[in-house]
A and B are shown apart, each in its own frame.
Chain A
Amino acid sequence: MMGRTIFIDPGRCIGCQACVSACRECDSHRGKSMIHLDYPDEGHTVASLPTVCMHCEDPVAPCAEVCPADAILVTADGVVQQADTTRCIGCANCVNACPFGVPKIDLQAKLQMKCNLCYDRTAYGLAPMCATVCPTGALFYGTVEELKAERPGVQVADSFTFGDVVVKTGVAMVVPADKVQWPVPGGLPIVQINGADVT
């Protein structure tokens, strides 16, 4: 069962970007935010959701698996770290491998950058900065029991399908209680490959 982790609840997100600002303030990120906001239905609604690293568990961190420089460390407690700057070659393999679109490449520095679950804070029992400040609780840090105590009836998912592949993650998503599917379909449907319609 999942331990203390981040739960993302898109239904509560107001798109304020407090998480983005807070991520910049985290000492391990030094002025650079590792979160971004996604707007799934722009122009029609104001819906938004924060995207953080999902810290994949099974298969173990696709980004780390494909890293040719062995730069991405996965700690014993399941946190997928940002690429080690002394090993990262900026090849972007991790960007291509991530099913959630999380790692970014700083093209000038030729370095990968991603969320490391505020390891400087979580290692000492503090919540990550983004989940600490999130004004609405769209990012919640704790155990699933703590989440359920605060939000009766909440339903969470930590497995996502991408075609035939199932990815189990360390970070969980809140899903609508009346539309429980397990695992949750992840990513966007593939409609074209090299211009050919595959629907």
Chain B
Amino acid sequence: MTAEQHRATVPLDPSIAPPGTRNFRDAGGIPADRWHADQTGETLVPTHCCFCGVQCGMYLRVDRGGKVFGVEPRNHDINRMRLCPKGINAYQQVNHPDRLTAPLMRRSRDEPFREASWEEALDFTVSEIRRIQSACGNDAFGLLGGASLFSEKTYLVGKFARVALRTRHVDYNGRLCMVSAAGANKLAFGIDRAGNPFSDILLTDCLLIAGSNVGECFPVMTQYVWGARDRGASLIVVDPRETAVARTADIHVALKPGTDSAFFNAVLNVVVEEGLTDEAYLAEHTTGWAEVRAKAAEYPPSRAAEICGVPAEQIVQVARTFAGAGKAMAWHARGIEHHSQGVENCLTVINLCVATGNIGRPGAGYGTITGQGNGQGGREHGQKSDLLPGGRSIMNEEHRRQICEIWGIEESDLPPAGTSMMEMVWQMQRGEIRGLIGICNNPFVSLPNYRVVKEGYDAVEFHAQFDFFLSETAANAHVVFPVTTWAEDEGVMANAEARVVKHNKAQEPPPGVRTDTWVMCQLAQRLGAGDKFAFAGSREVFEELRIASAGTVNDYYGITYERLEETGGIAWPCPSTDHPGTPRLFEDGRTYHADGRIHLQVVDWHPPMDPYSDEYPMSLTTGRTVAHFLSGNQTRRLGALVEQTPRPWVEVHPSLGFRSGDPVRVVTRRGSEVFPALVTEAIRPDTVFVPYHWPVPTSANALTVDALDPRSKIPEYKVCACRIEAGEEVDIVPSPPVAPGHTAYPETQVSRTDPLPPTSPQGRGTAERS
């Protein structure tokens, strides 16, 4: 038997396959070993992972034919060789058989897609834009970008919307990610980024992690957490679930979802009561402390304990541990940000850090853990509805004048601020937005309240989507433009530390595939704005971005591609080419507000927007799994990741009487869906958890509420009222759509209905007690 035959007959290893999954096709993926190629003559291209905000350095292995066929760890400063399963398998999507390689087109949703030429698809798109805008005004056409794009492309999305489409309606899927943290940081510090680099975690005496399942969402960051623990740091985790990191914490606060600001106000209350505040620092560097202190006084531990469902003593313990440490840090993520008071939750964490003097020192400060690869950089240069390049405000006359000068347009031609992503969907539903281009996003899976999203998109007269796989959202479009993966273009991303890193091109795009930059420039040319979009590639866009950001808080002027290659990454602000960048903020005690002070904000807790009732007495909370990324459009096609976590589940406490594998129906005011139960003591009895990477019929976001934070407009994914009941069947493996002509793996489209027990990557398996 040859080696090839041997490999072909190897069955799925039962020790890694989920129960009931006989082979990779049962699980809905392609074989993990499909991509191995002849190794001789390979080259290694240094780049970074395309996924989360850690931005691990990696090498892509490229064969003699110029094709990416593997990955090799890279000793980059951020990750020091480490990679998570998503990073290890990411290369498999580059030459995946599901890649779109020709534009798909149809004139109405009643027709099937057909492959079209680029000329035809571009011309049709432009004629539809013109038709809709001439009939209903420029603002009747919208643009939705993505935070997995390189910063050059996000800059171009903002410019394309305002200069070529001349619409106010542009936003991006980072709106679903960390805008609450961004809003809080801007309010308090005048700058929208984490205060400290990851490496400061290794220097801290107390690490507080709020609302972040670091082990599954940012696995490589765990090395810093464990490093801090090795050196004796205390670890406090605030999370309704006992995650892998919470399991090892000195204090795990399993609070009820949606009660974070009450908890942190109460912690601050104890800090004040016990005289653990840094009054000298507060007097010299802050405004608003008296008001914040007075508000905290309204949250004694006894009151917060009742709201949060945790012991009052635990609140006291957290306060003493955090404030009593010499150097303390707080890192937070979607768990406290995905709320109708997401900004306020983040502000209460900032208040705690500042009140204890833990700002701007090695090992002392705060950080936001970014979900998407460019969640940080994706909004810095004008993709967000209210921002212009360099983080300028679109409402600020001076900022508008500056950008119009750089772009060479009249001030009167620059549209005002638009609305947020979810609000745009509501406008689509109401017929106010009639045409839409989506780039690198998949709202059919990622937005809350799926029914509303579907209605909104169905109501749109023309919808075009840029993507390299046919996402659930692209499958609803009239035109789908096949664009490059991250390995087929160059560009920069800013990670969770605001460190700008350079991605390099590892292979030429497949025939028929173009870069997002090329497509936007072609559309702009046809719309009569070609002179403003004469970009040959990312490098030219980056040069304009550098100039557009010069002198702003988000200053990229001193960052060049060459410097990024040499240094492995530079944290902004970096105002000149001899500036080393700014890994740690506020070392001189000054913030980016005009008065140089931290503007502390008063926060009052209010209950979640979806009220509990006798009919809906429990909390539904949602989140990620380690094997999948966002809407799963990419990871649900990669064999190893599908094998690892083929389907969603619902985590329920043993006291609710279910056994693992039982079909459980989760019912909210938006609808109901059935998931196999994963019975575990790692969740509160009054709360259930469903991971959100899958589409209907097993979609967590068919159930979540489309309530928004009034300031950040982030949806309240992390809590809604629900009830659970015995279900009748379980749809197990929802597979992503596949374009016409891409039917290499038809078995992946089959969904199974037998209620098999689920497994999670962390083995939260059976409730059977031995």
**Chain A contact residues, CB within 8 Å of chain B:** 11-18, 20-22, 24-25, 27, 30-33, 36-37, 39, 42-48, 85, 104, 106-109, 111, 127, 129, 132-137, 150-152, 154
User: Which residues from A are CB-within-8-Å of B221?
Assistant: 135
Which 7 A-B residue pairings sit nearest by Cβ, starting from the closest? A31-B33, A39-B763, A14-B215, A36-B15, A42-B765, A15-B762, A14-B244
A17 in contact with B660 given A31-B32, A32-B10, A109-B9 (CB within 8 Å): no
User: Which residues from A are CB-within-8-Å of B1?
Assistant: 109
- Scoring A21, A27, A30, A37 by chain B CB atoms within 10 A of each residue's CB, the highest score goes to A21
Q: Is there an interface contact between B764 and A42, defined as CB atoms closer than 8 Å?
A: yes
CB proximity of A114 to chain B, nearest CB, Å: 12
Q: How far does the alpha carbon of A129 sit from the alpha carbon of B316 in the complex, in Å?
A: 44
Q: Is there an interface contact between B6 and A109, defined as CB atoms closer than 8 Å?
A: yes
Which stretch (B130-138, B381-389, B563-571, B679-687) binds chain A?
B679-687
Tell me the chain B residues, 205-235 only, with Cβ under 8 Å from chain A. Answer: 215-216, 219-223, 226, 230-231
Tell me the chain B residues, 1-57 only, with Cβ under 8 Å from chain A. Answer: 1, 3, 6-7, 9-11, 13, 15-16, 31-34, 36, 39
CB proximity of A175 to chain B, nearest CB, Å: 15
Q: Is there an interface contact between B10 and A43, defined as CB atoms closer than 8 Å?
A: no
Q: Which residue of A lies closest to B83 (CB)?
A: A133
Q: Is there an interface contact between B84 and A16, defined as CB atoms closer than 8 Å?
A: yes
Q: Is there an interface contact between B88 and A18, defined as CB atoms closer than 8 Å?
A: yes
Q: Is there an interface contact between A46 and B768, defined as CB atoms closer than 8 Å?
A: no
User: Which residues from A are CB-within-8-Å of B247?
Assistant: 45-47
Tell me the chain B residues, 193-212 only, with Cβ under 8 Å from chain A. Answer: none
Q: Is there an interface contact between B230 and A48, defined as CB atoms closer than 8 Å?
A: no
Q: Is there an interface contact between B763 and A15, defined as CB atoms closer than 8 Å?
A: yes
Q: How far does the alpha carbon of A15 sit from the alpha carbon of B244 in the complex, in Å?
A: 8
**Is B248 in the interface zone, CB < 8 Å from A?**
yes
Q: How far does the alpha carbon of A42 sit from the alpha carbon of B9 in the complex, in Å?
A: 32
Q: Is there an interface contact between B16 and A45, defined as CB atoms closer than 8 Å?
A: no
Q: Is there an interface contact between B85 and A17, defined as CB atoms closer than 8 Å?
A: yes
**7 A-B contact pairs sorted by A residue (CB < 8 Å):** A21-B641, A31-B32, A31-B34, A46-B247, A47-B247, A107-B11, A134-B82
A24 in contact with B32 given A17-B16, A33-B13, A135-B83 (CB within 8 Å): yes
CB proximity of A129 to chain B, nearest CB, Å: 8
CB proximity of B639 to chain A, nearest CB, Å: 9
Known: A16-B626, A42-B765, A46-B247. 20 other contacts (CB 8 A): A11-B248, A13-B244, A14-B216, A16-B85, A17-B761, A18-B87, A20-B640, A31-B33, A32-B7, A32-B10, A36-B13, A42-B764, A42-B766, A44-B680, A46-B682, A47-B763, A106-B9, A109-B6, A134-B82, A154-B230
Q: Is there an interface contact between A33 and B16, defined as CB atoms closer than 8 Å?
A: yes
Q: How far does the alpha carbon of A15 sit from the alpha carbon of B231 in the complex, in Å?
A: 23
User: Which residues from A are CB-within-8-Å of B9?
Assistant: 106, 108-109
CB proximity of B291 to chain A, nearest CB, Å: 40
User: How many Cβ-Cβ contacts under 8 Å join chain A to chain B?
Assistant: 171
Q: Is there an interface contact between A16 and B226, defined as CB atoms closer than 8 Å?
A: no
Q: Is there an interface contact between A14 and B765, defined as CB atoms closer than 8 Å?
A: no
Q: How far does the alpha carbon of A142 sit from the alpha carbon of B566 in the complex, in Å?
A: 29
Q: Is there an interface contact between A42 and B248, defined as CB atoms closer than 8 Å?
A: no
CB proximity of B646 to chain A, nearest CB, Å: 13
**Interface 1/0s, chain B 65-107, versus A by CB < 8 A?**
0000011010000010111110111000000000000000000
Q: Which residue of A lies closest to B226 (CB)?
A: A12
User: Which residues from B are CB-within-8-Å of A151?
Assistant: 230
Q: How far does the alpha carbon of A78 sit from the alpha carbon of B636 in the complex, in Å?
A: 40
Q: Is there an interface contact between B644 and A25, defined as CB atoms closer than 8 Å?
A: no
**Is B245 in the interface zone, CB < 8 Å from A?**
yes
User: Which residues from A are CB-within-8-Å of B39?
Assistant: 27
Q: Is there an interface contact between B680 and A24, defined as CB atoms closer than 8 Å?
A: no
CB proximity of B11 to chain A, nearest CB, Å: 6
Cross-chain contact of A43 among B71, B84, B626, B681 (Cβ < 8 A): B681
User: Which residues from B are CB-within-8-Å of A43?
Assistant: 654, 660, 679-681, 764-769
**Is B139 in the interface zone, CB < 8 Å from A?**
no
Q: Is there an interface contact between B36 and A30, defined as CB atoms closer than 8 Å?
A: yes
CB proximity of A35 to chain B, nearest CB, Å: 8
User: Which residues from B are CB-within-8-Å of A27?
Assistant: 36, 39
Tell me the chain B residues, 709-760 only, with Cβ under 8 Å from chain A. Answer: none
